[in-house]
Amino acid sequence: MNTDATLELACDLIRRPSVTPADEGCQALIAERLAALGCHAEHIRYGDVDNLWLTHGSGRPLTVLLGHTDVVPSGPETEWQTPPFEPTISHGHLYGRGAADMKGSVAAMVVAMENFLQAHPDHNGTIALLLTSDEEGVARDGVRRVVSDFLAANGIDIDYCLVGEPSSHERLGDTIKNGRRGSLGGRLIVRGSQGHVAYPHLAENPFHRAAASLATLCETQWDRGNDDFPPTSFQISNIHAGTGADNVIPGTLEVLFNFRFSTEVTADELKQRVHSLLDAHNLNYELDWRLSGEPFQTPRDSRLLQAAQQAGEEVLGYPAQTSTAGGTSDGRFIAPLGAEVIELGPLNATIHKINECVAVDDLSQLTRIYHNILSRLLL
């Protein structure tokens, strides 16, 4: 099995500064490689976002390898030990923006497909590779829209979806994400009356009015979680009031907050409870909601999860634990289709950081794991 090709492809992808929503030709490069093996590619562009739907075979089951070619900004390049878009190998690690999140695993997926198709051109079912350049951004014209527009219009049903997000913690393959919490964001505007701090009776301070309700939101236990999900959490991520002067009572207060919620509560229930709490404090407020994704979970006895656990243990020699912790991924757009969805990828210790990196050996092992999973599902 050719796994050196994974490192070469990962380097080729890192050289392309595809800061979201740019793709910089990553998907065209991959489509050209896989066309030689009889894969059919559809390039789907929505707005500034490039998406690639590439398939081989026909019929069910439909197994999708899901990834993204966009990366977050590098931050100050002077703080990197080597330029972020010049892949560098040092002490057994490949350095560069996107090495772990997630050009390394995209390369592993592509090479695993190549190896599998060369060995089994007449495999059962269909293999699909779905790539987007809108995972690190607003996630509006990427997988979300491919699902709602392209897949729906073509009557495409997905059976299995393997997401290459960096799921590992201490060593490669120690954790497989078999679900994610939901994400519900809110933008709260509390209105008061601006005035001079020396004459508070002539003004109404919205921060003072909202303080008790914000404290209650922070202290509330929303649920207790369950065996698969931690309890729902509420976090204030941004708060602003005032003109910048120390002698002016602000007229409005803006608060941004987020729920990461379990399957023990729904988004509508959270909204209702928040509105009830704010109303009980007689606040003059506006509240806009943004639901980024519902919680989802792939059962522990699912075929995909079992195939991934068996493949990982066969290649690595140790078992993987399952987890639903962490942020969101594009898997949240696939799960509502009824597909089994898991995430399995490199270590997440350096993602979005200066000097992002992935172990070179991990890339070759990840390629073997992905190849093994395809064999278990499609032979």
Residue pLDDT, tens place only, 185-224: 999 999 999 999 999 999 999 999 999 999 999 999 999 9
- Asked whether the domain spanning 182-293 has the same topology as the one spanning 4-180+295-378, the reply is no
Residues of the binding site: 68, 101, 136, 165, 352
| Annotated catalytic residue 86 | no
Q: Give the whole-angstrom CA distance, residue 340 versus residue 179.
A: 10
What CATH class does 4-180+295-378 carry? Answer: alpha beta
Sequence spans of domains, the chain: 4-180+295-378, 182-293
Q: Give the whole-angstrom CA distance, residue 217 versus residue 92.
A: 47
| Annotated catalytic residue 135 | yes
The yes-or-no verdict on residue 346 having pLDDT over 70 is: yes
Q: Where are the beta strands (DSSP E) in the chain?
A: 40-46, 49-57, 62-68, 88-90, 93-95, 126-132, 160-163, 175-177, 179-180, 182-191, 195-196, 233-241, 248-249, 252-261, 285-293, 296-297, 321-323, 340-343, 357-359
Instruction: Give the confidence band of 328 by pLDDT, cuts at 50, 70, 90.
Output: confident
Q: Give the whole-angstrom CA distance, residue 262 versus residue 224.
A: 9
pLDDT of residue 2: 63
Structure tokens at 9: 């492809």
Residues of the binding site for Zn(2+): 68, 101, 136, 165, 352
Instruction: Give the confidence band of 3 by pLDDT, cuts at 50, 70, 90.
Output: low
The yes-or-no verdict on residue 98 having pLDDT over 90 is: yes
Alpha carbon 269 to its chain centroid, in Å, reads 24
Give me the catalytic one of 24, 50, 70, 141: 70
Mean pLDDT of the chain: 96
pLDDT of residue 1: 63
Give me the catalytic one of 24, 114, 134, 135: 135
Q: Which of 371, 348, 370 shows the shortest CA–CA distance to 358?
A: 348
Residue pLDDT, tens place only, 142-162: 999 999 999 999 999 999 999
- pTM of the entire predicted model: 0.89
Residue pLDDT, tens place only, 247-272: 999 999 999 999 999 999 999 999 99
Please list the residues that pair with 188 across neighbouring strands: 255, 287
What CATH class does 182-293 carry? Answer: alpha beta
